[in-house]
Structure formats: C-alpha cells, structure tokens
Amino acid sequence: MTPQFDYFIILAAMRTGSNLLEANLNAIEGVTSYGEAFNPHFIGRLKSDTLLGISVEERDRDPSTLLEAIRQAPGELNGFRLFQGHDPRVLESALGDPRCAKIILTRNPLDSFISLKIARETKQWQLKNIKRRREAQVEFDAEAFMKYLNRQHEYHLMLSQRLQQSGQAPFYIAYEDLNQVHLLNGLAAWLGVSGRLSTIDETLKPQNPEPALAKVTNPDEMEQALSQIDSFNLHSTPNFEPRRRPLVANYVAAPKTPLMYMPIRGGMESPVTRWMAALDHVDVEQLLTNQNRKQTRQWFLSNPGHRKVTVLQHPLARAHRAFCRHILNTGSGAYPKIRHVLRNRLKIPIPGQLRDGNYPVEQHYEAFSAFLTFLRQNLAQQTAIRVDAAWCSQSQALEGMASFALPDLILREDEVATALPDLARRMGHSTPPLPDLSEPDTPFTLADIYDDKLETLAAQAYQRDYMQFGFGPWKPIRGAE
C-alpha cells in the first residue's frame, strides 16, 4: 500500500509544546523530526550550521534542497517544525502539497504569550532537570497581548482557509493532549507509520506549571484587560453578501492623462467620467474602457506614475439612486424583471407605469422605505433576487477590486469637487475643469423625502459600510441635488 504522506510539518507558535511533541514523535520507531530546519538563524538545532549535509547557505539559496533531503532521509517518515518567522517559501510549498502531512499544534494563547515572556526573561527555553528551573514573574502587557492574539488568529485562519481550498485535512493537537499516549498514537496512525508509543517521553519537563495569574506581577490588571476581549465577536457585523469579482471592463482611463477611474457601480460614474473627458478635451466616448485584464495591466505598465481613483457615496444616497434608476424607472437602465418581483410579489408600492400625477412624493417615501427593507434582506442572502452591483455594499466592491488592483485614492462624494481638480494639478494640468455634479434623481430627490427613519433603514442594510467608512447622517451635496 502506497504511503499517504512523503513528509510531515509541525505548524506551531513558540511556547506551544512543539519540543515535547517532537520528542514524542522521535520516540516512534521510523519517525524523525529534524527540529527547526528552516529557522533563519540556524538549521535544525541551535548553533547548528548543517543538516543532512546541507549548509545554511545552501538551504537559504534553495530551500527545496533541504526539503528533498528530509524526504529522502532514512526512516519511515520524516519532518520538521515550522514557526511563523521561518522561511515563508517552505510554508507556501508545504501548504500546496497534499503529500505533506500538516500537524497543527495549538495552545491557549494567553499561556503561550506569558510563557514566551518568561522564557525571554530567564533565557531558559527547555527544561530537562527540574533542579535547574529558573523562575520569574513578568508584567502583563495588554496591548502586546492583543497584537499577539491577532497574529495567531490571522495565521490560523490563513492555514484553515488554504487547506480547505485545496481539500486537505490537517491533524489538530492541543498542548494539553501531549501527555496522552493514545492521542499521540492516533497521530502516528494518521501519519501512516507502523510504530507506536508505549509511554510518553518524559525528558522534557513543564517549565511554568502555575496558573496564569500566578505568573504575572499585575494579575488584577490582566483580569481587567482580558475582560474587554470580545472572544465571541459580539460586535462583529456578519457578512453573508456574495463576494464580487473586479469589474475590470468598467474601469475608465483618460486617453492623455495617466489617470484611471475604478467606479463603484451605482455611484458617481457619470460625473467623474464627464470630468475626465473634459480634462483631456475629448468626448466621453473617447475615454478608454471595456478593456480586459491583460489590456488593463498593459495600461498600468505603459503609464508610469499613473493614478487610480474610486469614489464612495453615502449608502442612503446610492440606494436612492439605484431605486430611481433601476426599479422605479421603466426606460433605459431599468431592471424590469426585478421591478416586477418587487412590485407584484413584495408589494412595493410603485406604479406599473410612471406618469405625471400618478406617483406623489408620499408614495415615493413609502416605496423607497420598502426598497431599503428589501436591500437589508437581499444583502443578507434572504431573497431569491441577485445582489446587483448597483446596490451591493461598497466595502464588498472594494474587496473585489483589491483582488485585481487597488485604487490609490479613495474619495468621498463630497470631496470630488475639490479633490479631482487638485489631483489634476498635481498631474500637470494648470487649470483643470471643475466636476459637474448636477445629476438629480427623478422624479424626486432624496432631499424631498429624507428623514431619520430612512437613515436608520439604510444603516441596517449597510451595516458594514457605515462601520468601515464612518458614514454619518446624509447631507445634500451642493451641485449634486
């Protein structure tokens, strides 16, 4: 039977028990773990400069040489430990290799954080003789712990996502499990090796067995700081909205000025593109758009010093524009199928045909309020209607952009009138035109119906945008209404 794995990797943080895990793996017949084989400061063990006949210099030049040597070394299965600060090329290679067994070792992050501080204080990283134990209390630093906690969370989230994406299953083992011989033998079975442990390796001793509060000089301060940590993400904003791809074909570049506009649909497309055309003294039709990814990358390369701009709009104003253009309107730009569902199934009070006198402002207020309620459900994937780019959250649109290229200037709609001319001046235009923001929604503007209830409904629909970008109550922009 062909073995499932060619080698293994222990993915761990410092002070999580990786030495103890490695000692027990090395006690299994046919298994060898070669320590911190890719530590940038040594190779395998402290003060070592060669491993399996390969020098530090050779390893750093091409880590695959040492990886191959570990695979081919005598024994049934070999591996090594890899920490976050070790050669990232090795992690990248291992995560993409299903023939590499991933062992993920975890420990309570508070215990590992304090243990790390004590080890740095005492300069004692392993304990084999209890008589030589060095004791110390350390001061708990809440800010440093939060940074440590965030790093560990992000690292393990990355590991989980990468392995899930490639359909790989790691073996998780906790610090508290390292003295359980049956669990370690379960690990041996998962690795596919024939050897088993009869007892736990007792060479290494726990260095700091006391409770966490006994290891610090400021236990009360630590308790207070830890009480503020939101372990269950109580204040997070759930996001069920589908991910968006970058709409590269919608990007607009000026033909002369090295300026590209990366529009967020439903926002300021017309005012910005009209201004770009006026800046280069061309018609709007002469702007460069509808390019594919290759052509857009070529534009990036052929326009050194280029600038990429996008514009955020207040969520309430953007939702109102999307409602007027795509739902209320029955002409160009209308979404007739979605309009039909909203009107006939969800009973949003809009007329079959919009005519003078058949749609008063009071009805517009009621219809738009109902549309905002629909948006909250739609963005949460609770409706059968697609999340359209014209009303998707702007944070999701920006994340989609970032997967291809990042805008280097993100403007707010109330900054456009001054920021775009300022940018043009920095790019060599002495007297740039002023943007024309006059594009009122019809048949009613948002100013005609605005009140606190609409603001609340918009904030419920676009929680992430309000949080991410700090939007306050909507205010009309001079020249835009």
pLDDT digits (tens, 9 = 90+) for 165-193: 999 999 999 999 999 999 999 999 999 99
Q: Taking 70 as the threshold, does the pLDDT of residue 453 lie above it?
A: yes
Q: Taking 90 as the threshold, does the pLDDT of residue 202 lie above it?
A: no
- pLDDT band at residue 448, thresholds of 50, 70 and 90? very high
pLDDT at 477: 81
Backbone angles phi, psi at 455, to 5 degrees: -60, -40
Question: How does DSSP classify residue 55?
Answer: E
Write the pLDDT tens digit of every residue in 275-316.
Answer: 999 999 999 999 999 999 999 999 999 999 999 999 999 999
Q: Which of 64-68, 406-410, 456-460, 474-478 has the lowest mean pLDDT?
A: 474-478
Rounded (10°) CA dihedral 109, 114, 118, 124: -20
- Please count the residues of the chain: 481
pLDDT at 162: 95
Q: What is the mean pLDDT of the chain?
A: 93
> Which CA distances in Å does 259 have to 43, 135, 401, 414?
49, 62, 16, 20
- Contacts for 111-114 with beta carbons within 8 Å, 24 or more apart? 111/15, 111/175, 111/212, 112/13, 112/14, 112/15, 112/16, 112/175, 113/15, 113/144, 113/145, 113/148, 113/149, 114/138, 114/140, 114/208, 114/212, 114/215, 114/216
Q: Which region holds residue 479: left if phi is over 0, alpha if psi is between -120 and 50, else beta?
A: left
pLDDT at 230: 78
Write the pLDDT tens digit of every residue in 252-270.
Answer: 999 999 999 999 998 789 9
| 207, two tokens | 């260095």
d(CA 459, CA 25): 54
414: Cβ–Cβ under 8 A, 6 or more apart, which residues?
475, 477
pLDDT at 428: 95
Residue 369: in which H helix or E strand, if any?
helix 361-379
Closest CA to 364 of 446, 253, 266: 446
pLDDT at 266: 86
Q: Taking 80 as the threshold, does the pLDDT of residue 133 lie above it?
A: no
Collapsed DSSP state (helix, strand, coil) of residue 401: helix
Distance of CA 481 to the CA centre of its chain: 36
In 237-354 the beta strands, taken as DSSP E runs, fall at 252-253, 259-261, 307-312
Mean pLDDT of 346-353: 94
Q: Taking 60 as the threshold, does the pLDDT of residue 480 lie above it?
A: no
pLDDT at 28: 97
Closest CA to 473 of 450, 445, 449: 450
pLDDT at 3: 87
- pLDDT band at residue 136, thresholds of 50, 70 and 90? confident
d(CA 428, CA 411): 20
d(CA 314, CA 329): 21
CB distance 76 to 5 below 8 Å: no
CB distance 13 to 152 below 8 Å: yes
Mean pLDDT of 349-353: 93
Collapsed DSSP state (helix, strand, coil) of residue 412: strand
Query: Per residue in 373-382, is it b (16+ CB within 10 Å) or e — as a string?
Result: ebbbebbeee
Collapsed DSSP state (helix, strand, coil) of residue 16: coil
pLDDT at 132: 62
- pLDDT band at residue 331, thresholds of 50, 70 and 90? confident
pLDDT at 239: 80
d(CA 103, CA 24): 13
Q: Work out whether the CA dihedral 420, 439, 476, 399 comes out positive or negative.
A: negative
Question: How does DSSP classify residue 14?
Answer: T
